[in-house]
Structure 1
Amino acid sequence: MTFVQLIEYETTRDEEMTGLWDEWLRATEGKRTLSREMHGKDRDRPTHYVDIVEFPSYEEAMRNSELPETRSISERIRGLCEEDPRFVNLEVVAERP
Structure 2
Amino acid sequence: MAFVQLIEYETDRDEAELSRVMDEWMQATEGKRTMSREMHTRDRENNGHYVDIVEFPSYERAMANSDLPETQRAARQFRELCSSEPRFVNLEVVEERT
Range class of TM-score, shorter chain: over 0.9
SS in 2 for 1:47: strand
**Gaps in structure 2 of 5+ consecutive residues:** none
Match of 1:54 in 2: 55
Counterpart-to-counterpart distance in 2, 1:30 and 1:57: 17
Q: What is the CA-CA distance between 1:29 and the residue it aligns to?
A: 0.2
Please, what is the CA RMSD of the aligned residues?
0.5
Match of 2:2 in 1: 2
SS of match in other structure, 1:40: strand
1:31-75: CA deviation from partner (whole Å, max 9, x where unpaired): 000000000000000000000000000000000000000001100
Letter in 2 for 1:8: E
Give the aligned length. Answer: 97
Structure 1 stretches of at least 4 aligned residues deviating more than 3 Å after TM superposition: none
Distance 2:40 2:16 in 1: 12
Task: Calculate the TM-score normalised by the size of structure 1.
Answer: 0.98
Match of 2:36 in 1: 35
Superimposed CA distance per residue, residues 2-47 of structure 1 (whole angstroms, 9 cap, x where no aligned partner): 0000000001222101110000000000000000000000000000
